């Protein structure tokens, strides 16, 4: 497996949790036989614990200061997620002219034409107060991708999927339109909690990207390695209220978009992906319509996901 594919795979692993904290790999994915040997000696839990730059776990982030970015003089204060929220979004899988017109993007992306991207839809559900029955961690998050799965894996993504984090554990769900022979549920990671409300501290402020959309946003981004693998997030600069007529509804800075490098392989041909939020609101999700699906779709002990080369060495060996 080439170094480029390994770097993209690791970014994808991180992205799947935030859906993308699609982040930051560094030496965790060195290339060559030595890496394959190390991965083969790891336990399944170790192989499925991914470095995420502090967003979903503390791997590689001890002390915590290794993975945080103190703000410089003149930079805006950090936005904060509401303690729970729900949002729809439009996903743009951009495969042309993304170098000339990089994200963050408006909806639709300014400068691009419909021939430059594919549009699909989904929704995210978040509750920072959730505690799973086994008390392993806290927080719940579900990202639902309708008909077009998150394009971070080196495979076709034309199926419905969801990523669900319940406390520290994360699951990958496929639905009726899933590819033949794939499970409807697999265990993605034992250490992939939802991003904390202050997760943005793990990304540097990007003044140049903050000029996009007429300067109406606060953009945060990091590019990793010579491939410049991108992970970024943007918030609207001005606080607004979800209920303007309610004097007790405190205004806050709403997320505008989540943008990152997808898999450049074809399929899915996703050099750049942007999820642009709409109708973001501080509403508590209904568990029956969201993360209760894990108990409904997964066996008591789900099989491990085999989404990246190295996740399941025995299966990889059979396919060679």
Mean pLDDT of the chain, nearest integer: 88
Residue 41 scores a pLDDT above 80:
yes
Task: Tell me whether residue 96 is in a domain.
Answer: yes
Residue 310 scores a pLDDT above 90:
no
Higher pLDDT, 31 or 150: 150
Higher pLDDT, 233 or 27: 233
- What torsion do the CA atoms of 45, 299, 144, 167 make, to the nearest 10 degrees? -50
Going by their DSSP bridges, the two strands 169-174 and 117-127 should be labelled as unpaired
C-alpha dist (Å) from residue 145 to 6, 121, 132, 157, 171: 24, 6, 23, 10, 14
pLDDT attached to residue 40: 60
pLDDT attached to residue 309: 72
Task: Tell me whether residue 245 is in a domain.
Answer: no
Q: How much is the pTM? A: 0.88
Task: Tell me whether residue 88 is in a domain.
Answer: yes
Q: What is the tally of structural domains in the chain? A: 1
**Both structure tokens of 251:** 């205004």
CA 71, CA 78: separation in Å to the nearest integer? 8
Write the pLDDT tens digit of every residue in 6-35.
444 444 444 444 444 433 333 233 233 434
CA 7, CA 178: separation in Å to the nearest integer? 26
Residue 209 φ then ψ, to 5°: -65, -25
Task: Tell me whether residue 244 is in a domain.
Answer: no
Task: Tell me whether residue 155 is in a domain.
Answer: yes
Tokens 């929220």, residue located: 85
Task: Tell me whether residue 182 is in a domain.
Answer: yes
Task: Tell me whether residue 192 is in a domain.
Answer: yes
Write the pLDDT tens digit of every residue in 237-258.
999 999 999 999 999 999 999 9
Band of the pLDDT at 145, cuts 50, 70, 90?
A: very high
The boundaries of the domain holding residue 177 are 3-239+250-319
CA 295, CA 281: separation in Å to the nearest integer? 26
Task: Tell me whether residue 98 is in a domain.
Answer: yes
Residue 275 φ then ψ, to 5°: -105, 110
List the CATH number of the domain containing 166: 2.50.20.30
pLDDT attached to residue 92: 98
CA 45, CA 190: separation in Å to the nearest integer? 6
Span between the terminal Cα atoms of the chain, in Å: 12
Look at residues 125, 56, 92, 89 and name the one whose alpha carbon lies nearest to residue 279: 89
């Amino acid at each position: 497996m080439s170094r480029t594919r390994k770097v993209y795979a690791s970014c994808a692993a991180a992205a799947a949790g935030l859906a993308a904290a699609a982040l930051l790999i560094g030496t965790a994915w060195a290339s060559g036989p030595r890496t394959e040997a190390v991965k083969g000696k790891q336990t399944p839990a170790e192989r499925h614990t991914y470095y995420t730059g502090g967003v979903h776990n503390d791997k590689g982030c001890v002390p915590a200061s290794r993975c945080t970015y103190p703000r410089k003089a003149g930079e805006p204060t950090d936005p904060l997620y509401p303690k729970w929220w729900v949002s729809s979004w439009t996903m743009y899988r951009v495969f042309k002219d993304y170098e000339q017109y990089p994200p963050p993007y408006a909806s639709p992306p300014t400068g691009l034409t419909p021939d430059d991207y594919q549009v699909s839809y989904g929704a995210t559900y978040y509750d920072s107060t959730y505690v799973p029955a086994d008390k392993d961690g806290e927080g719940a998050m579900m990202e639902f991708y309708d008909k077009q799965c998150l394009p971070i894996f080196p495979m076709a993504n034309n199926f419905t999927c969801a990523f669900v984090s319940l406390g520290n554990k994360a699951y990958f769900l496929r639905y009726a339109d899933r590819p033949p022979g794939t499970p409807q549920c697999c265990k993605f990671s034992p250490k992939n909690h939802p991003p904390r409300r202050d997760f943005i501290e793990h990304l540097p402020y990007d003044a140049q990207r903050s000029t996009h959309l007429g300067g109406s946003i606060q953009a945060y981004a990091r590019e990793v390695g010579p491939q410049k693998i991108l992970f970024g997030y943007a918030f609207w600069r001005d606080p607004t209220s979800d209920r303007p007529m309610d004097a007790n509804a405190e205004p806050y800075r709403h997320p505008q978009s989540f943008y990152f490098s997808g898999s450049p392989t074809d399929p899915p041909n996703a050099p750049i992906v942007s999820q642009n939020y709409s109708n973001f609101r501080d509403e508590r999700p209904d568990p029956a319509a969201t993360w209760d699906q894990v108990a409904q779709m997964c066996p008591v002990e789900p099989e491990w996901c085999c989404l990246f080369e190295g996740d399941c060495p025995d299966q990889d060996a059979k396919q060679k």
